């Protein structure tokens, strides 16, 4: 992708951080060369997402060393290899999303014993092999002074216990890196905490676009790449002077759905990305506006809270651009609680 950008004439600058806005389409940046101001005709925010650290998860207990996110674990292994004084000897992984499997693989490749995977999910996710998975379990306290010595956990039956470990890896629980969006005053979607966009990835600020995990953390890289390509078309239209009309119809999620994006619908039909807040087996999804059902369909598979489902443009076809909010709802045919 970098080579393609260079061949197209783009200037790729690494080691440069955008720190704020100095105008509607001007960014203040800092680099080893110092401070700089970059003015543009369009800005695409693609700052991605990060896992919530321990402080943001409000996990009680002391503040020992050895408490990491998956990203911190991977950077530690990349810098120091499998040296146990840096990584640890026995770890507990918290979370049940696919990124937790990545954390387990990284730990085992570094020679670290994985004592258990602790997940609040009510079912045991697949893919962890012989590693014990404690489903329906939450971490209630971090233990240890200086270095972690264990975690206190509580199961779904209310029983409490302590898992001994010197490393705790907190996985998933994504939050968009939305600092620039907030500094620009862009409205944030309540479900994802990313900036609200329409189907063409336009934000409320003219000339400012957003795409990728900034809009919905935790998606596979191909999803972000596809959105980047789609956003490029909208940016080219903007640069070419074509009329730009930001969507005005709010799109909301209802029932056991965590969020839907885009948050606004314009005059053109647009695909939707929705994510459930729990596991749903063959749910019925509906899209309605002003009490009129536009589309409904029973999905064949199972929806899980760490993956989204894409609804094609046909789901929003027929929506009134001057009408009320569009509501996407999941109705459970069968569910595992």
Which pLDDT score, from 0 to 100, does residue 4 have?
A: 85
Alpha helices in 60-163 (DSSP H): 70-80, 84-87, 98-109
Residue 172 has pLDDT above 50, yes or no: yes
pLDDT 10s digits, 306-327 = 889 999 999 999 999 889 999 9
> Which tokens is 91 given?
């770890």
Q: How do the residues of the chain divide into helix, strand and coil, expressed in percent and rounded to 5? A: 20, 35, 45
Within 10 angstroms of residue 235's Cβ, the number of other Cβ atoms is 20
Domains of the chain: 1-40 (no CATH), 51-174 (3.50.50.60), 178-335 (no CATH)
Residue with tokens 């979370």: 95
pLDDT 10s digits, 64-101 = 999 999 999 999 998 887 776 678 999 999 998 889 99
Cβ-based burial of 337 (10 A; exposed 0-12, middle 13-18, buried ≥19): exposed
Instruction: Indicate the pTM of the whole model.
Output: 0.86
Distance from C-alpha of 201 to C-alpha of 190, rounded to nearest angstrom? 17
Which pLDDT score, from 0 to 100, does residue 211 have?
A: 95
Mean pLDDT of the chain: 91
Which pLDDT score, from 0 to 100, does residue 185 have?
A: 95
Residue with tokens 């003219």: 206
Q: What are phi and psi of 40, to 5 degrees?
A: -140, 165
3-class state of residue 148 by DSSP: coil
Which pLDDT score, from 0 to 100, does residue 332 have?
A: 79
Cβ atoms of 162 and 143 closer than 8 Å:
yes
More confident residue, 4 or 201: 201
pLDDT 10s digits, 277-288 = 988 999 999 999
Which pLDDT score, from 0 to 100, does residue 214 have?
A: 95
């Amino acid at each position: 992708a970098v080579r393609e950008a260079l061949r197209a004439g783009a200037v790729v600058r690494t080691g440069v951080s955008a720190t704020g806005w100095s105008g509607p389409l001007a960014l203040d940046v800092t680099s080893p060369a110092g401070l700089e101001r970059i003015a543009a005709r369009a800005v695409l925010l693609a700052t991605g997402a990060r896992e919530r650290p321990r402080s943001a998860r409000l996990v009680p207990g002391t503040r020992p060393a050895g408490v990491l996110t998956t990203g911190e674990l991977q950077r530690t292994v990349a810098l120091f290899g499998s040296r146990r004084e840096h990584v640890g000897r026995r770890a507990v992984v918290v979370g049940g999303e696919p990124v937790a499997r990545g954390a387990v693989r990284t730990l085992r490749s570094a020679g670290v014993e994985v004592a258990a995977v602790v997940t609040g999910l009510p079912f045991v996710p697949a893919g962890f092999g012989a590693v014990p998975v404690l489903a329906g379990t939450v971490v209630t306290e971090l233990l240890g002074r200086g270095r972690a010595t264990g975690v206190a956990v509580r199961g779904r039956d209310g029983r409490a216990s302590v898992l001994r470990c010197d490393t705790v890896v907190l996985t998933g629980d994504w939050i968009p890196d939305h600092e620039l969006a907030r500094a620009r005053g862009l409205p944030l979607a309540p479900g994802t905490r990313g900036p609200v966009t329409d189907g063409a990835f336009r934000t409320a600020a003219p000339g400012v676009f957003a795409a990728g995990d900034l809009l919905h953390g935790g998606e596979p890289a191909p999803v972000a790449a596809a959105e980047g390509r789609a956003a490029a078309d909208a940016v080219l239209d903007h640069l070419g002077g074509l009329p730009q009309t930001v969507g005005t119809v709010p799109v909301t999620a209802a029932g056991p759905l965590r969020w839907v994006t885009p948050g606004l619908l314009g005059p053109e039909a647009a695909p939707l990305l929705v994510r459930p807040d729990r596991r749903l087996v063959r749910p019925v999804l509906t899209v309605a506006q002003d009490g009129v059902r536009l589309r409904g369909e029973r999905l064949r598979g199972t929806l899980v809270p760490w993956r989204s489902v894409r609804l094609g443009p046909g789901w929003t076809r027929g929506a009134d651009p001057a009408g009320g909010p569009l509501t996407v709802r999941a109705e459970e045919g069968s569910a595992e609680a």
